[in-house]
């Protein structure tokens, strides 16, 4: 009987150690990946994508972005407002691509703009790793059967704060970088030698809301853990 209990206890301890070890490795790999992506961005190894919208010209419905041009139509259908043929040649796509929405991207921008534009990628990786590292002690105590251990509530609240801060950076960064990126492509030449007129492309908001759900979940767990810790403390005081 005693040997069986000891065996189960040993297996549980080994399983907890393995889980914590894997989580530690994954968390540090995420942080390292975020730092590496940030390094590539500032060293011009990555494009700097920012969400944009079209203003002076309406896009045709294709994978490429074709503005409306006077005297030219797509599949027999014209669209408005249309640019003059002197501004742009019909059938020449704008230097933006479709990625859920319209995205403009360039290389060789200043390091600050590059970091801001790529913040959703490197910031998300670093934040994910940071959250994992913050929660490692809570994971260790929970795996050992002590989910309401002291400081677990604080760790969960800290993880929620990290998620919110990374979400703010990922949401604001590309929007702040967008004017610089757009300015750098405003003079870009199309296939026929035309220049993209200033004002055709404008910054757009592209906000992902799912990280807020994760932050709310972590904050809720923090509140529940805090209540549980108080209940455990009160129970221990009665014993």
**Is 150 within a domain?**
yes
Residue 34 belongs to domain spanning: 2-52+102-188+202-238
Compare 90 and 11 and report the one with higher pLDDT: 90
Task: Write down the mean pLDDT value for the chain.
Answer: 83
What percent of the chain has a predicted confidence (pLDDT) above 70? 83
Q: Which residue do the tokens 């407002």 mark?
A: 81
93 belongs to a structural domain: no
What DSSP letter does each residue of 125-176 carry, written as one string? HHHHHHHHHHHHHHHHHHHTT-TT-TTHHHHHHHHHHHHHHHHHHHHHHHHH
- Cis omega (within 30 of 0) on the bond before 177? no
Contact 218, 159 (CB under 8 A): yes
Q: Is 116 a member of any domain?
A: yes
CA–CA distance, 184 with 27 (Å, rounded to integer): 36
Tell me, yes or no, whether 138 lies in a domain.
Answer: yes
Angle at 173 between CA 167 and CA 177, to 5 degrees: 165
- Least confident range from 12-26, 87-101, 124-138, 186-200: namely 186-200
Determine which of 11-20, 115-124, 164-173, 223-232 has the lowest per-residue pLDDT on average: 11-20
pLDDT at 5: 47
Residue with the two structure tokens 């994971």: 139
Domain count, the chain: 1
Residue 74 forms part of a structural domain: no
Give per-residue pLDDT as tens, 143-164: 777 877 888 899 999 999 999 9
Residue 61, domain member (yes or no):
no
Summarize pLDDT for 182-225 with one digit per residue, the tens: 888 877 766 667 788 777 888 988 888 999 999 999 999 999 99
Q: Is the pLDDT of residue 36 over 80?
A: yes
Is there a domain that residue 87 lies in? no
Write out the E strands in the chain. Answer: 48-54, 96-98, 102-106, 201-203
Residue 60 confidence (pLDDT): 54
Provide CB contacts within 8 A for 192, sequence distance 6+.
Answer: 89, 92
Whole-model pTM: value is: 0.81
pLDDT of 9 above 70: no
The answer to the question of residue 172 being in a domain is yes
């Amino acid at each position: 009987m005693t040997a069986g209990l000891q065996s189960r206890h040993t297996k549980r301890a080994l399983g907890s150690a393995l889980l914590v070890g894997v989580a530690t490795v994954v968390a540090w790999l995420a942080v390292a990946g975020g730092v590496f992506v940030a390094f590539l961005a500032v060293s011009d190894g990555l494009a700097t994508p920012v969400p944009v919208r079209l203003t002076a010209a309406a896009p045709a419905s294709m994978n490429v972005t074709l503005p409306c041009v006077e005297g030219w139509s797509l599949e027999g259908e014209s669209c408005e407002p249309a640019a003059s043929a002197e501004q742009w040649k019909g059938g020449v796509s704008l230097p933006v691509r479709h990625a859920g929405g319209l995205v403009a991207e360039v290389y060789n921008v200043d390091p600050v703009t590059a970091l801001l534009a790529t913040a959703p990628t490197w910031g998300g990786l670093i934040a994910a790793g940071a959250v994992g590292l913050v929660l490692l002690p809570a994971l260790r105590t929970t795996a050992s059967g002590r989910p309401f251990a002291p400081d677990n509530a604080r760790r969960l609240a800290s993880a929620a704060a990290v998620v919110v801060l990374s979400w703010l950076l990922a949401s604001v960064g590309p929007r702040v970088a967008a004017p610089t990126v757009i300015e750098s492509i405003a003079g870009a030449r199309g296939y026929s030698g035309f220049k993209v007129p200033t004002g055709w492309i404008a910054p757009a908001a592209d906000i992902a809301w799912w990280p807020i759900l994760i932050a709310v979940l972590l904050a809720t767990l923090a509140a529940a853990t805090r209540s549980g810790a108080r209940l455990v403390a009160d129970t221990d005081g009665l014993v």
